[in-house]
Structure 1
Amino acid sequence: MQNQPAFTAQELKAYQSDGYLIVRNFCSPEEIDRLYSTALNDDAMSKNALDLNDQSGKKTRLSLWFTPGNDVFGYLTRSEKMINRVAELLDGDAPVCHFHSKLMQKEPRVGGAWEWHQDYGYWYKNQFMFPDQLMSVMVALTAANKENGCLQVIKGSHKLGRVNHGFAGEQVGADMVMVNNALQTMPIVYCELQPGDALFFHSNLLHRSEANLSDAPRWSIISCYSLQSNLAYAETSTSWKTPIDVVPDDAVLNWQAESLSNNDFLAKENDPALKETGWEK
């Protein structure tokens, strides 16, 4: 990987202060065309999609897999430009590992909301030890705006540490007393993205999204990363502790890609975040 810093000192300071960072034009239009067409046309995505109900009963679809493969999404999650940036933002010097990726499919008029939550509110159940060594990267495949339910974040809320989480519909949601306290203390930011923009965010950043009531789809790929030094004592997959085999940035466009059917997709009944553990009380 390159030695040149991926972020400026000012950008790194903003991430530490705000808990998130937007990189515009992270992927080219040609890369997005290939990624989005694969998402639409590779039936492994639809066959392995999970439907999760929000509190109103609206559904959000997602397809989640663990090991990044030799498909176009695997090439994106393993690319130099991605791993260089993630390595700079995670707290430590251990190799970067890929926990999982998911294709978010929020369809027009029917795509449900995501309640306020922290990713570490889910991953705490996997018993990951260090939230500063976990983060997510969302790459927009279609435009994301207020009308179609773009991600909202509470700026600086990662500094709260982990907030207790319980169930909201079929999702895991943060304790609304603490969320409302945060909303009185820190500003909401609507993370409006164009196709190809990337949002890097901390595992303890509080975020949500509204239902998609527009006529336009909102699709994105979210890849979640950890450092190899971040032990997970209740996670059965192995990708979280396997250093990423980094590929060149041009792989998405120029390398031959396998089908996503080779990926190790998550089945809904096997997701520990969706099971009662007693920790929700």
Structure 2
Amino acid sequence: MVKQSLTPDQIKEYNQDGYLILRGFLNQKEVSKLYQIAIDDKAMSKNAINVNDSTGKRSKLSLWYKPGDDVYGLLTRSESLVNSVDKLLDGDAAVCHFHSKLMQKEPKVGGAWEWHQDYGYWYKNEFLLPDQMMSVMVAITDANKENGCLQVIKGSHKMDRVEHGFAGEQVGASQRYVDLALQTMDLVFVEIKAGDILFFHSNLLHRSEANLSDQARWSMISCYNRASNIGYNESTSDSASITPIDIVPDEALLTWKTTGLVEEGAGFLAKEADMALK
């Protein structure tokens, strides 16, 4: 069964705030299947990249470009999710998958992420239209203040892109502009439950604290793009970033026989790759 379509008020909220939360987008069975496959996924583990924050705490992520018939690809390509993205992105060209990543913040050791805009990275790939790009975070476990949930500056996407530079091993936004934004815009802690999803604009300023709790925080983030928005300096020229998504029915996540990622077909980001290109 196709999930409920976005309402005009929800689309307005996204355009105004730069983000939108849908509660209970995945049911308990869907979340459980996604989590169980993720924690046992050898290809995902083998290709995980460690990223240190300024204090030395470490988060892990695995990033891949090509969505397949694995459990992650079926979610990324699911009809309701793609249709929602289509309603929120500017333009009318086909929706494409840029890349996805599994974010793993383990208890006590999971590191923080600096303030940044996703387009602060993607601008260097020479995508010209940030309104035609967005990220969708699927909570695989609960995310709260204690385990380092995402923080966003409400409405900051309207600032357009701000300068980014290296902060340790990460690329972060100019702190001067972050401080100015916080003088007039609201800081929001995005506390969500497993199965909730968060849509956010490519220019929305966001960060997260380290995970100091006893509970892991796992999430999957899929990034989308319009076929008309070419990355002229996109290092993965054969990636799906300008190839229309092959949509699958929502029920495929539960009814199709699926496993974890197949390493050869996923197009993982190499461990030695520059993280500024992600």
**Same fold by TM-score greater than 0.5:** yes
1:57 deviation in Å? 1.1
Alignment of 1:27-106 (within 5 A): 27-106=26-105
1:236 deviation in Å? 2.5
The percent of aligned pairs where both chains have the same amino acid is: 64
Instruction: Tell me which residue corresponds to 1:190.
Output: 189
1:228 aligns with 2:227: yes
Other structure's SS at 2:253 match: helix
Instruction: Tell me which residue corresponds to 1:21.
Output: 20
Residues 21, 109 of structure 1: CA spacing in aligned structure 2 closer, same or farther, 3 A cutoff?
A: same
* Matches of 2:224 and 2:155, distance apart in 1: 20
* Matches of 1:206 and 1:6, distance apart in 2: 26
Residues 272, 192 of structure 1: CA spacing in aligned structure 2 closer, same or farther, 3 A cutoff?
A: closer
Residues 80, 211 of structure 1: CA spacing in aligned structure 2 closer, same or farther, 3 A cutoff?
A: same
Structure 1 residues 56-107: Cα deviation after superposition (integer angstroms, max 9, x where no partner): 1111100000000110000000000110000000001100000000000000
1:272 deviation in Å? 5.9
Instruction: Tell me which residue corresponds to 1:154.
Output: 153
Q: What amino acid sits opposite 1:249 in the alignment?
A: D
Q: What amino acid sits opposite 1:98 in the alignment?
A: H
Structure 1 residues 2-48: Cα deviation after superposition (integer angstroms, max 9, x where no partner): 99982111111111110000000011110000000011011111100
Find 2:276's aligned residue among 257, 273, 279. Answer: 273
1:258 deviation in Å? 4.3
* Matches of 2:144 and 2:259, distance apart in 1: 32
Structure 1 residues 128-179: Cα deviation after superposition (integer angstroms, max 9, x where no partner): 1100000000000000000000000000000000000001111100000000
Instruction: Tell me which residue corresponds to 1:240.
Output: 241
* Matches of 1:41 and 1:258, distance apart in 2: 10
Q: What amino acid sits opposite 2:273 in the alignment?
A: N
Structure 1 residues 217-236: Cα deviation after superposition (integer angstroms, max 9, x where no partner): 00000000000010100113
* Matches of 2:41 and 2:117, distance apart in 1: 30
Contact preservation (8 Å) 2:37, 2:259: no
Contact preservation (8 Å) 1:107, 1:216: yes
Contact preservation (8 Å) 1:171, 1:274: no
Contact preservation (8 Å) 1:57, 1:169: no
Instruction: Tell me which residue corresponds to 1:254.
Output: 255
Number of equivalences: 274
Other structure's SS at 2:176 match: helix
* Matches of 2:33 and 2:3, distance apart in 1: 28
Unaligned runs of 5+ in 1: 276-281
Contact preservation (8 Å) 2:79, 2:250: yes
Contact preservation (8 Å) 2:117, 2:202: yes
Normalised by the length of structure 2, the TM-score is 0.96
Normalised by the length of structure 1, the TM-score is 0.95
Contact preservation (8 Å) 2:38, 2:260: no
Q: What amino acid sits opposite 1:180 in the alignment?
A: D
Alignment of 1:110-189 (within 5 A): 110-189=109-188
* Matches of 1:5 and 1:161, distance apart in 2: 31
Other structure's SS at 1:234 match: coil
| 4+ aligned runs moved over 6 Å, structure 1 | 2-5
